[in-house]
Homo-oligomer: A and B are copies of this chain.
Amino acid sequence: MSKELTSRATDYSQWYNDLVIKGELADYSAVRGCMVIKPYGYALWENMRDQLDRMFKETGHVNAYFPLFVPKSLFEAEEKNAEGFAKECAVVTHYRLKNDPANPGKLIVDPEAKLEEELVIRPTSEAIIWNTYKGWIQSYRDLPILVNQWANVVRWEMRTRLFLRTAEFLWQEGHTAHASKEEAIEETKKMLEVYADFVEHYMAVPVIKGVKTANERFAGAEDTYCIEALMQDGKALQAGTSHFLGQNFAKAFDVQYLTKENKQEYVWATSWGVSTRLIGALIMAHSDDQGLIMPPRIAPLQVVIIPIYKGEESKPVIDAKASMLIKELKSLGISVKYDDSDNARPGWKFAEYELKGVPVRVAMGLRDIDNNVVELARRDTKEKSAVSFDGLAPYIKNLLEDIQQNIFNRALAFRNENIREANSWEEFVNLLDTKAGFVSAHWDGTSETEEKIKEQTKATIRCIPLNNKQEEGKCILTGNPSSQRVLFARAY
């Protein structure tokens, strides 16, 4: 009996949760808003992390590690940043528990162990890092600093969703320091390209690169660049952000450097991050009613081989044939599992690996072997075919690349079909309510208008696309003049 999944049409949100939990990516925990990332989900994250880490290192970055805690006085130093995160901070106030005199075996917070200064658990690390950089930077020779950190962060969200929005999540945060504004902006853009490259070529999720409006900017940034993806239910998802921080943190923490011309100047900053949230994007971009669909390049498992035993005597023959194939696949760098467990029938296993999104399934029985073939099933299209053993491993290698390309193309076609222009308020609201996707519309450029549109429709401006076409028009809400269309959507 395979695990039952809610279909997307029945309840999209429940379908998502079913995939996460029954697909064994993650589970709820005893801590409000925090999840347990299960081994299958963590293996996916490891593959994503390792690839991103290679890309960061290829672009000259190194890793470091900064404290989990931010003393309150540092946290509040950059006012906009503090204001943006103060409402969702986990705060450590004590450093000891003691026995509860009223309840033997129970513990209470020891009131005598109150901290002089409260510690905020990092919701992001600009404050603690720029306070550190002050000690690292004296002259232009100390610049640039190109540091990344892999870490856990905590934001006390009220409504949480597995992977998409959790109180604690895993991420990387790059924090760079530069001698000039131009260099910092160049870095901000470069990392946006790295993210787009990763999300499109490894996660197979097409993205739109753009800039956020002032309303949607990171707290403390001068400019926030972003990549926006489209989920199958038509909602947008911000997949990564790269911030040009100007001199805001340098001024808040007094980080100056001596220029070649012997002058003191404030340092320029960037920060950029992606998180385990990306796993939510991956699930909602590709999966179907039978379960997850993993992009081959980052799949925790690329190929599963399932033997179809008929009687005891078939076992050694099939096992021997499988073992040859496994060896060949591994020599091509392909991850493979042979599931010869006897506690489930082949049909159950088929459903299970479909649910887990393993890109390629190989089934082999005695008759197949007699005919020198196996049955190959690709997860993305569910097509099955009999494929010859001769050259099977390289055939599978190509098939994995085909699948990678196919799921990207499919997501790209869906995304492109779902960007629509609206030229009036009525049309705008109608599109939001009846169609999935992005709505491209004119906006008068003010935060007030953006806020009103959000209040009335729940749609936000996802981004002003990079290299956006300039075009005269009128704001869909106010009718005021506008020089370009921007992308609206309801979003995760």
Contact = CB atoms under 8 A, between A and B. Distances in A.
A68 B168 contact: yes
A453 interface: no
Contacts of A154: 68
A97 B68 contact: no
Given A67-B31, A68-B152, A72-B107, A93 B93 contact: yes
Nearest to A276: B65
A164 interface: no
B156 A29 contact: no
B91 A109 contact: yes
A255 interface: no
A30 interface: yes
Interface in A280-305: none
Contact of A79 (B70, B105, B147): B105
B96 A93 contact: no
Contacts of A141: 343
A76 B106 contact: yes
A455 B455 CA distance: 69
Interface string A71-107: 1101110010010001111111111111100000111
Contacts of A89: 95-97
A109 B93 contact: yes
A107 B81 CA distance: 12
Interface in A133-188: 135, 141, 147, 151-152, 154, 156, 168, 170
A89 B92 CA distance: 10
A132 B149 CA distance: 28
A93 B93 CA distance: 6
Contacts of A75: 97, 107
A74 B343 contact: no
Contact of A152 (B70, B118, B152): B152
Contacts of A152: 68, 151-152
Given A67-B29, A132-B27, A96 B88 contact: yes
A102 to B, nearest CB: 14
A440 B192 CA distance: 61
A458 B66 CA distance: 34
Interface stretch (A34-42, A222-230, A258-266): A34-42
A22 to B, nearest CB: 13
A198 interface: no
Contacts of A82: 97, 107
B76 A135 contact: no
A119 interface: yes
A45 B95 CA distance: 27
A69 to B, nearest CB: 5
A29 B97 contact: no
B66 A29 contact: yes
Interface in A114-137: 118-121, 128, 131-132, 135
Contacts of A120: 97
A128 B67 CA distance: 22
Contacts of A39: 62-64, 147
Contacts of A42: 62-65
Given A86-B97, A96-B86, A131-B30, A65 B91 contact: no
Nearest to A40: B62
Contact of A30 (B71, B86, B95, B96): B71
A132 B36 contact: yes
Nearest to A67: B34
Given A86-B97, A107-B82, A107-B86, A69 B132 contact: no
B96 A156 contact: yes
5 contacts: A31-B128, A37-B65, A46-B63, A86-B99, A92-B92
Given A31-B119, A45-B65, 9 more contacts: A30-B67, A37-B66, A42-B64, A72-B107, A76-B107, A82-B97, A89-B96, A121-B121, A151-B152
The 5 closest A-B pairs by CB, nearest first: A34-B67, A39-B62, A37-B65, A86-B97, A95-B156
